[in-house]
């Protein structure tokens, strides 16, 4: 019986990963005038947030790593490193805040801090790659974009959550 449950869980994780890749692709086609360079909606992070909130530590880190692997295949090693560092820091921040949820933090607030963590991870990666800390001067812009985009992705997750939970229940 356990093997059957694990197979269902792997299938569900595969579906979530596929959704993350598709959302990333769609996001690449969306142009929002006026956004600073490097600022994106972070649509694929909706999948990561779902994993953090409902699938736990292994699922969340697995999706973050798989997303970075897909970036490696589609955009190369630089993008993959930035994706990995952003994803891992984002997941870590959200998991830590989730443990504090009893203190009254909403999923929306956790999403916002996760987006800021993602931006910080990518910025630290850029500083590592360029060998200079000058890239860190971009952090105030990325904090503001993290607040905005984290709010948007948190709202989208809240909207699609009933459908995802229904699918998850069917696979259990």
Query: What band does 53 get if pLDDT is binned at 50, 70 and 90?
Result: confident
Quickly count helices (H) and strands (E) in the chain: 6, 0
Residues 6+ apart with CB under 8 A from 99: none
pTM, two decimals, is 0.88
Q: Per CATH, which fold does 2-171 belong to?
A: Arp2/3 complex 21 kDa subunit ARPC3 (1.10.1760)
Q: How far apart are CA 157 and CA 50, in angstroms?
A: 7
Q: What is the mean pLDDT of the chain?
A: 87
pLDDT at 101 (0 to 100): 65
Extents of the domains making up the chain: 2-171
């Amino acid at each position: 019986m356990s093997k059957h449950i694990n197979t269902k869980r792997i299938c569900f994780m595969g579906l979530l990963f596929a959704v993350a890749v598709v959302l990333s692709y769609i996001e690449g086609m969306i142009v929002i005038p006026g956004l600073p360079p490097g600022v994106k909606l972070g649509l694929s992070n909706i999948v990561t947030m779902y994993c953090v909130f409902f699938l736990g530590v292994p699922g969340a880190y697995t999706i973050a790593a798989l997303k970075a692997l897909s970036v490696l295949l589609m955009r190369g090693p630089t993008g993959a490193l930035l994706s990995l560092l952003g994803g891992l820091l984002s997941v870590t921040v959200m998991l830590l805040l989730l443990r504090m949820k009893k203190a009254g933090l909403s999923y929306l607030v956790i999403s916002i801090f996760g987006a800021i963590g993602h931006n910080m991870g990518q910025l630290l990666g850029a500083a590592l790659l360029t060998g200079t800390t000058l890239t860190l001067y971009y952090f105030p812009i990325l904090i503001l974009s993290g607040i905005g985009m984290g709010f948007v992705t948190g709202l989208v997750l809240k909207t699609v959550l009933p459908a995802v939970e229904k699918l998850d229940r069917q696979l259990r």
